[in-house]
Each structure stands twice: as structure tokens, then as C-alpha cells.
A = this chain, B = another copy of it.
Amino acid sequence: MAEVRSTADRAEVHAVGKEAAVATAPVWSVDPRTGKPREQVAQEATAEEVDLAVRGAHAARAALADRTTRAALLRRAADLLDGASEYVIEAADAETALGPVRLTGELARTTAQLRAFAEVVDEGAFLDVYIDHVDAERTPPWPDLRRYKVPLGVVAVYSASNFPLAFSVPGGDTASALAAGCPVVVKAHPDHPATSELCASVLRRAAAEVGLDENVITLVHGFDAGVELIRHPLVTAAGFTGSVRGGRALFDAAATRPTPIPFHGELGSLNPVVVTEAAAAERAEQIGTGLAGSMSLGVGQFCTKPGFVLAPAGEPGDRLLKTLTAAVSETEPGVMLDHRMRDAFVAGVAERAALPGVDAPITPGAGGEHTVSAGFLTLPAALLAAEGPHDLLLEECFGPVTVVARYTSADEVTGVLSRLPGNLTATLQIAEEEGTGALPGGAELLAALTPLAGRVLVNGWPTGVAVAPAQQHGGPYPATTSTSTSVGTTAIERWLRPVSYQSTPEALLPPELRDDNPLDVPRRVDGRREN
């Protein structure tokens, strides 16, 4: 299915831009369990092909204006993906080694997300409708004003390595952009091109089945294609999930365009954890085991992996580390998403472990020819009090490793927290009496963690991001380049802008703004809430 689409598109491109045809690199699907190529999936897109994809998406945007059709598209896409689950999970596992259990869960999450956005579209609260009728009593008088939000236009989506479904072609960025009424051009991640092609073809089929132009969603491959995409004049916004380096380069390209566009990137996150003395005294073993599970889950390849822990010096902290050591040493070596990442992990760990004062109770590293093993590093928190070589420990290291800094005073905790960059999550491990307020300090620690992250957890672990309306997956830079990303209902806001209509006759207004509210959307009319 994927090949057919690709060939058809290519034929069209050649018809359009024959003279400009350029030989591009083939795109291979690679097995991370062996490092060996599986099959050639496509070619990297040329500049002409990117242009064709964007123009096709732009031309398809009017078809997305109808909210009923958009909701149908999202639900149909979810149904078709569920129907193709066997093939999708097989392709994704072959390319990512994430395993069928995890991928089954990820697909369920992905289709739930598509359906959740269909509900958001149906309800229409995201349109943020305000109506103020003429008010002649005001000085100066108010004219009739009616505001709602309109889609920005074509959205570029850069998919993630570590979530081939939920943060890739059919993921939150795509779902929220389509929900907003924006056509999407996805730049596939090179770690799972076959899965990307398969998912794109499913989404395009869903579009066709609900009567939409299938160019509301298109896929391109290749690094250069990604750069062309962000620079294309008809692209109006972008979503990205990946590294600080790659994300920042694309952010810079978006900001330096003649017409700059918003770039919503999820880049890197340390996800600090603070364990209070009382918490360690209360349940050192439980915290140690929980930490081991969260930092090694999915071979440490979650953007929410707890990568930095402030744990107390002294006996309870020692017990925590003892349990952590035991639990981590029982972790099986795992296959990372690709060999480049594996090499970066091994090198990153070695560089960190070599810093003075850093110990490695269990050295994480190469666990075999194609695998890595989990581990952790420890150091006195005092070494992080001021700028220096140890700042490397405050940067994300992708893979199954965490850094435990041992503190001896509350001031040391405050000092290190003030030096941390922005994060997706920040976690507080406190004792029961700190949570009830019977022991002081809990509220202050929560207040100290809030400026650091988009999600703050108490006595839980940050891996696992529930797709709930109150969810928020974002945080200060470099966690994100904007305030929020692709999970939760705030995701749709990124692809919209407000427009007010002044003194516009009823007959010309969009139905959402007409007095009789024929589509029954929630609104604020003359200051009062309707629905």
C-alpha cells in the first residue's frame, strides 16, 4: 500500500518538475536488533516534491473547513488504524524494537487521541466564540463584534524517533492540526520510515473515505526535505518532537523566514525528582524500585524519563540507592531505537562518569553488540552549586541512565533547582505527613518545582502521559519552544488564530457566529456564557 502511494506521487512529481529532477538518497528501513537494512521504503523527497506536497495540502485546506467532516476524518482514521493494527504493530516493532506489548498500547493511545480530538471538534469550545452586540451606551459606542478562531493553514509535523505512532504520523500533532482544520505535511523520522508510510496511507485512505482530498495529509522523507518544509512560504506553523540540537535548528529556520512562523517543539528534558528526607525515611525501598522502573522503562527512551534525582545524604538515602542498585542490576539489556543513539548513549555516559566526584554504582553502557544496559551515576549535590564541568549532568542523556545528586541541606536543594533548565516534568517524593501539611515544606517544594516544568507530580513517576483533558505535555525551554505541545486539549490552540467580524450582516457570517447559533457551539454572548 505504501509503495503504491509513493510511486503514484513520484510519477506526478516527474510530470510536474521533470527537468529539475534530482537524484536523492534511498530511504531504508533498518532493524535495530541487528543494525541491518530491512527494505528500501522510499526516496528522500526533493525540493520539488516538498513543494508539491505543501501546495497539495494548501489546496486541500478548504475541504477541512467543515467541522463535521473533520470529526469524521479523525474517527475514520482511528477505526482504520485499529483495523490495520496487526500490520502497523509488526512494521513498528521491526523498525524500532519497542516490542508488541508497548506498541499495542501505543496504538490504542494513538487512536484514543484521534477520537478525543474528534470530540473536541464536535463540541466546538476551542473556537472560543465571543459575541458582543452593539452597545450605544459605551463611550465610544461598541460596534457589533463577533470573534472565533480560524485555522492557520498548512502545518508541518516532524515526527519522533521514540513514539512511531503516538508522536509520529498519526500522533498528537497531526490529530490536533487536522482537528483545528489545518492540512498536514509530515516529515517522517528515519528510524521508522515503513511504519510512517503505512500510517500515512491509512490516514489518506480515511480522508478519501469521508469525502476529503487525501492531500490533507502527506508524508515526506529526508533531512533536506525537512529543512525545505520549514522554509516553505505556504507552511504556517510546525510541530516537532526530538532533540535539542535538531529542534533548535528548525526553530531557528522558522524564526528567520521572511514571514516567521510558530514552531512548537518538544526538545529535551531532564525531568528532575526531589526526594525529601522524610520520604526517604518513610519508603526508601519503594522509591528506589519505582525510580529504577521509570528510568529504565522502554530502554530509557522516554522524553519524561527521570534523568536527575536529588536524594538526601545519610542513611535513608543510602537505603534508596541500595534498592536502586539492586533493581537496576536486574534490568535486562535492551535494544535502542538505532545504533547512532546507542553510540551517543555509551559516549554520553562515559563522559559523565569521568567527571571528578562522580561514582557509577552500576555503570550503564554497551550491554552487547546491539544492546545497552541500564545504570546510574551519583555525586554530591554540592558539585552542582555553581557553573562548571558538572553542568553536563544537567543535560539530558537519552537512554537508561539517571543521575542521583546527594544533598546535605535544604539550601543545597534550592541551589541546584535554581540552576536547572526547563523540563516537561518535575517530581516530588514526599512523606505522607508532608502531603497533609502536618509536616511543613511540601507546599514550598511544589512552588519551587512549578516554574521548572509543565507537569508536576507528587509521589508518582513521570513516564506515562495520560491522554486526559487536564493533561499538559510541555514546559519551559528547552523542554519546549512554546508553552505546550501535542498532548491534551491545549494542543489544538497552537494551530488557530482569532478573527473578529465587525458589523457583519447575519447572512454573511459563519454559522458559529450567527445569533441563532445553529451549530450549538459554546459561546460568550454579551458577557454571558451560552451552552
A472 partner residues in chain B, CB cutoff 8 A: 147, 498-500
Question: Which listed residue (B451, B498, B527) contacts A474, Cβ 8 A?
Answer: B498
- A466/B143 in contact, CB under 8 A: yes
User: Mask for A466-493, Cβ within 8 A of B = 1, else 0?
Assistant: 1011111010111001111000111000
Question: Which listed residue (B128, B260, B456) contacts A481, Cβ 8 A?
Answer: B260
Tell me the bound Cα distance from A252 to B489 in angstroms: 30
- Whether A286 sits at the interface, judged by CB under 8 Å, is no
CB distance from A207 to the nearest CB of B (A): 22
User: Mask for A490-531, Cβ within 8 A of B = 1, else 0?
Assistant: 100000111111111101100000000000000010010000
A446 partner residues in chain B, CB cutoff 8 A: 501, 504, 508
- B466/A138 in contact, CB under 8 A: yes
Question: Which listed residue (B139, B464, B502) contacts A140, Cβ 8 A?
Answer: B464
- Which residue of chain B is the closest to A500 with respect to CB atoms? B472
- Whether A130 sits at the interface, judged by CB under 8 Å, is yes
- Which residue of chain B is the closest to A147 with respect to CB atoms? B470
CB distance from A131 to the nearest CB of B (A): 6
CB distance from A94 to the nearest CB of B (A): 25
- A139/B470 in contact, CB under 8 A: no
- Whether A457 sits at the interface, judged by CB under 8 Å, is yes
- Whether A146 sits at the interface, judged by CB under 8 Å, is yes
- Whether A145 sits at the interface, judged by CB under 8 Å, is yes
- A460/B500 in contact, CB under 8 A: no
Known: A469-B130, A505-B442, A527-B469. A147 touches B488 (CB 8 A): yes
- Whether A290 sits at the interface, judged by CB under 8 Å, is no
Tell me the bound Cα distance from A282 to B341 in angstroms: 70
A68 partner residues in chain B, CB cutoff 8 A: none
- A260/B437 in contact, CB under 8 A: no
- B454/A499 in contact, CB under 8 A: yes
- B435/A505 in contact, CB under 8 A: yes
- Whether A28 sits at the interface, judged by CB under 8 Å, is no
A455 partner residues in chain B, CB cutoff 8 A: 499-502
- Which residue of chain B is the closest to A248 with respect to CB atoms? B260
Known: A108-B139, A132-B469, A498-B483. A458 touches B260 (CB 8 A): no
- A466/B142 in contact, CB under 8 A: yes
- Interface size of A as a range: 35 or more
- A252/B256 in contact, CB under 8 A: yes
- A497/B470 in contact, CB under 8 A: no
Known: A150-B450, A471-B147. A130 touches B442 (CB 8 A): no
A147 partner residues in chain B, CB cutoff 8 A: 470-472, 488
- Whether A105 sits at the interface, judged by CB under 8 Å, is yes
CB distance from A171 to the nearest CB of B (A): 17
- Whether A363 sits at the interface, judged by CB under 8 Å, is no
- B468/A132 in contact, CB under 8 A: yes
Known: A454-B500, A500-B455. A471 touches B145 (CB 8 A): yes
Question: Which listed residue (B262, B456, B504, B524) contacts A504, Cβ 8 A?
Answer: B456
Question: Which listed residue (B464, B499, B507) contacts A437, Cβ 8 A?
Answer: B507
Tell me the bound Cα distance from A459 to B501 in angstroms: 11
Tell me the bound Cα distance from A509 to B147 in angstroms: 34
Tell me the bound Cα distance from A490 to B497 in angstroms: 10
- B502/A457 in contact, CB under 8 A: yes
- Which residue of chain B is the closest to A523 with respect to CB atoms? B470
- Which residue of chain B is the closest to A478 with respect to CB atoms? B259
Known: A442-B508, A456-B502, A488-B147. A469 touches B524 (CB 8 A): yes
- Whether A397 sits at the interface, judged by CB under 8 Å, is no
Question: Which listed residue (B256, B500, B507) contacts A456, Cβ 8 A?
Answer: B500
A477 partner residues in chain B, CB cutoff 8 A: 259-260
- Whether A443 sits at the interface, judged by CB under 8 Å, is yes
Tell me the bound Cα distance from A451 to B508 in angstroms: 16
A260 partner residues in chain B, CB cutoff 8 A: 251, 255, 477, 481
- B450/A489 in contact, CB under 8 A: no
A466 partner residues in chain B, CB cutoff 8 A: 138, 140-143, 145
- Whether A453 sits at the interface, judged by CB under 8 Å, is yes
Known: A130-B469, A255-B252, A524-B469. A443 touches B508 (CB 8 A): yes
A-B contact pairs, 11 of them (CB 8 A): A132-B468, A251-B260, A255-B256, A259-B477, A443-B508, A455-B502, A456-B501, A457-B501, A458-B502, A470-B500, A472-B500
